[in-house]
Amino acid sequence: MTKTQPGLYGIQNSNRSGNNLWGKNQFNSTFPASLACYMRDKAIKAVYLSLDSNLKVQASEIEIDEVFNTKIENSKLSFNFETKYDAYQKFAFDDIKGIDLVVCDQNSQLRALEVKLTVIPDNSTSNQDEKDWGSEIVIRPATTSYSALGIAHSCESDFSRIRSIFEPVCSKIQHWDSIIEIDSKRTNILSSLNTFQIEFKEKQKPFLIQPIWKTKGKSPILDENAFDLFVWSDFAICRPFIDKSNEGTGYVNRFMRSSARLTRILYELSTTHKTNIQRIYTEMAFGLQSDKEFALSGKVTKNYMNHERRTSPILKPQILKEIILNGGEKMLSPERRFDQTIYYTAEGLFGAI
C-alpha cells in the first residue's frame, strides 16, 4: 500500500502536486485555493469588494460558487496555477502568459484569478489600534494587465461605446511614453476611466482573491480569529490606483502609470480589438521599476476592505488541521513568514513536527 501523500483540502486535480504544493512562491497560492475550497464546502461566504455607482468600493458577501464561476463540486474541478486564461489571448498580439490560478472543469476554463496572500497587521498599522489594522498588497504587472483583459472580455459587445469614452483624450496622445504628455492629460484620462467604470460597473466580476491571516500583533503566533477570504472584483482592484493617481503633478507616479496603461489598453482594444500588452508595459515604464506595479500599505487597504471581518476573521486556527493534510505541515519552510506562523502554531494543532 502506498503511503498517503501530504495534500491540501479540495485540490485533488491540479498541475501542482507533491512538493510543488509547498514550495516558495507555490504555497502562497495553493493554500489560498485550498482555503476557498474549504469555505465553499462549509457554505462560508467570502467578503466581496465591488464597485458601486459612486465609484466607492463596497463590502458585501459572495458565495465561492460565484468566485469559481461554477456549482460543480471541488473534486471535479481542476486548479491550475500560473496558467494562461486562453479566452483572453485573442485580445493580444503577444503572449499574455499565465495568471496565478485558473479554475477549470473537464471541458473548459471557468475563472481566471489572481491570488494575494496577506497578513494582518502589516508594519504600517501594527502599532495602531486593532480596529485600524490592515494588510499590505503588492500588485504586479500581471495583475493589472489581466484585470484589463478580463474587463475587455466582459465588455466586448460594447467596444464602440467604450471607444467613444476614451477617444477624445487618447486620440490626442502622440507619445504614450512621455511623462510631460501623460501628466498634461491626467485629468482627462482619469475622468474617462471614471466614466467607463460608472457606465459598465454591472460587468464587473470576481478577480483577485486575498486571503488574510491574522497574527497577534507583530508576533508569528496566529490570532484566535485567524483566517478569512476577501475577493476583489476586476473593477474594484483598479480603484486604489485610480484614486491615488492625483498624488502630485509634474511627474507620473506608479498609480498614474497604472491608470494610463489601463486607459491605453481599453482604448486600443475598443478601436482595433487587439493590442500588444508587453509593448505597452515596456514603453510606459516612466523610469520606474518595472517588475512591480505598485504596493498598497495597510493604511490604504483598510479603507477599501471596510468590513468587520478584516480585523475579526471568520475562521479559527484549528481549521489548519482540516486544510493541511497527511503531514503537509512538515513540508513547510520556517524561514518564510506564513510558513513560520503555521510551523510554530503546528505543534499545538498537529503535534510535534
pLDDT single digits (tens) 285-339: 998 887 889 999 999 999 999 999 999 999 999 999 999 999 998 888 877 788 8
Amino acid 1: pLDDT:
32
What is the C-alpha to C-alpha distance for residues 152 and 161, in angstroms, rounded to an integer? 12
Close Cβ partners of 173 (under 8 Å, ≥ 6 residues apart): 181, 182, 185
pLDDT at 111 over 80: yes
What is the rounded end-to-end Cα distance, in angstroms, of the chain?
Answer: 24
Sign (positive or negative) of CA dihedral 176, 137, 199, 103: positive
Read off the pLDDT of residues 28-73 as tens digits, 9 standing for 90 and up: 999 999 999 999 999 999 999 999 999 999 999 999 999 999 999 9
Cα dihedral value 336, 337, 342, 348, nearest 10: 110
As given in the structure block, the three cell numbers for residue 122 are 502589516
Cα dihedral value 324, 326, 327, 332, nearest 10: -50
Amino acid 342: pLDDT:
85
Residue (of 160, 228, 166, 229) closest to 197 by Cα position:
166
Q: What percent of the chain has pLDDT over 70?
A: 97
Amino acid 353: pLDDT:
47
What is the C-alpha to C-alpha distance for residues 48 and 34, in angstroms, rounded to an integer? 18
pLDDT at 79 over 60: yes
Amino acid 54: pLDDT:
96
Give the strand pairing for 46-51 and 222-233. parallel
Close Cβ partners of 223 (under 8 Å, ≥ 6 residues apart): 214, 215, 216, 313, 317
What is the C-alpha to C-alpha distance for residues 163 and 153, in angstroms, rounded to an integer? 15
Is the entire prediction scored with pTM above 0.85? yes
Instruction: Spell out the SS3 assignment of 240-255.
Output: HHHHHHHCCCCCCCHH
3-state secondary structure of 183: helix
Provide the mean pLDDT of the chain. Answer: 94
Read off the pLDDT of residues 200-252 as tens digits, 9 standing for 90 and up: 999 999 999 999 999 999 888 899 999 999 999 999 999 999 999 998 778 89
- Is residue 323 a contact partner of residue 9, using CB atoms and an 8 Å limit? yes
pLDDT at 347 over 80: no
pLDDT band at 351 (very low <50, low <70, confident <90, very high): low
